[in-house]
Each structure stands twice: as structure tokens, then as C-alpha cells.
Amino acid sequence: MKIFHSFDTKLKEKEYKKAVFIFWKDKILMISRCFAFIFFNWILPFFAWIIFASFSIILYFYTKSFYEPLAVLFLIIWWLFTIYLFYKFYLIFLNYKFDFCIITPEELITHKQKWIFKSSYKNIPVEKIKSVQSRHKWFFWNIFNFWNITILTDWWIAAEKDEMEDIDSSWAWIIRLTSVHRPNKTKKKILLLCIHKWKLSDIKDNKYKI
């Protein structure tokens, strides 16, 4: 019996295999968070924490030599901060490892793991897609060529006109794919696969330059 139904570590693999079985891999685009996401949000902060921890240990022994209660209070604060930081690191790892988007000729499947007990799984029919937007922001994001892709659906248009009926508006309007490598090229691939029904091999063969 599966206890944590919102935490399936094999979900990405199972969904991809199912999509390949239905459409074949030449019509499937898998989008995951790029390595730059984990580098800027996990690796660099971790090394910053090591520097902070080293400085904190020196400060602890320095304050302990002349006023021990202050050193104990500082140590408690440091441990609380460290526990919180590693909690955030774990959430970032979950986002990097288990968040994904699968593009097929018929639907767009997205999954976001927000915590062990909380996840978001969406199936958006291709005909509901009305706009795909990509953009870069800030210096390092441009250098490493990654940022976000935003997909608007006609549910979003209906919501603007107050015509929503039996739709969960909290997730149906906008789909955001964050930390995507080469967002401009990925956006064009999404349009070619979903709207124009191209194959990935057609795109790689330069029949359409992206």
C-alpha cells in the first residue's frame, strides 16, 4: 500500500514511458529544471553556509571565553537557522528532482512537488493553449541562458470574461515552467509539437530553424 500518494519518486519516469507508448518518443518533449537552477539555489548557497558556519564557530568560542550565556544563545540561533536552511535546501532539491513537464501532440502534463505531502499535477489539452511566452531576466540568467516559460490557456481568457464554469481557477489559467534551459528555443519546440504537430527529428533536421 502506498502511504504518501502525493510523493511518487517514479512519476516522471512512468508518465514519460506512457507518453512514449502512446505517441512515440519523436513526438514527446520532456522539460525539467536545468542544472543552473540547482547551482544558483543550492550549490552556491551551500558554500556560503560553510563560510558562515566557520565564522560562527570562531565567534562562538570567542564569546564563550568572556560571556558564556551569549555564546549559548548565539549557538541556539545558529542551529535554528541551520535547520531552516537545510529545510529550504531540501525543498529546492525536490523542485529540481521531481518537477517536470511533458509535451505531447494532445496534452501538456506538468507536475510540481511542493512538499512530501503536497504536489500539483495538471493535464492541459493542447487545444486550450493560446499563448506561449518566454523571457530572460538579469545578468547571470542571460549568461547561462535559462529562465521561465509561461503558457496561457483559453481558461485564462474565459476568466478574464468571467465565464469560468466548473474549472479550478487556481491552476487552470497559467502554467509556468521555471528555470528552463534555452527558453526561447524550448518555447518554439512547444509550439511546433503542439500546434503544428511536428516531430523532434524534423526540428533537429533544420526543417525549421530555431
Residues 78-126 pLDDT 10s = 888 888 888 888 889 888 989 999 999 888 899 888 887 788 888 888 8
CA angle 203, 206, 210 (to 5 degrees): 70
Q: How much is the pLDDT for 30?
A: 93
Q: How much is the pLDDT for 99?
A: 92
In terms of average pLDDT, the best of 9-23, 118-132, 159-173, 188-202 is: 9-23
81: in domain: yes
Q: How much is the pLDDT for 1?
A: 42
pLDDT of residue 42 exceeding 90, the answer is no
178: in domain: yes
Let me know whether 126 and 193 are in one domain.
Answer: yes
* Exposed/middle/buried for residue 13 (C-beta within 10 Å: 0-12, 13-18, 19+): exposed
Percent of the chain at pLDDT exceeding 70: 86
Average model confidence (pLDDT) for the chain? 80
Q: The domain containing residue 157 runs over which residues? A: 11-33+99-204
CA-wise closest residue to 28 among 161, 207, 203: 203
209: in domain: no
pLDDT of residue 186 exceeding 70, the answer is yes
Mean pLDDT for the stretch of residues 13-23: 91
Q: How much is the pLDDT for 129?
A: 85
58: in domain: yes
Let me know whether 107 and 58 are in one domain.
Answer: no
Let me know whether 107 and 191 are in one domain.
Answer: yes
Let me know whether 111 and 194 are in one domain.
Answer: yes
* Exposed/middle/buried for residue 92 (C-beta within 10 Å: 0-12, 13-18, 19+): middle
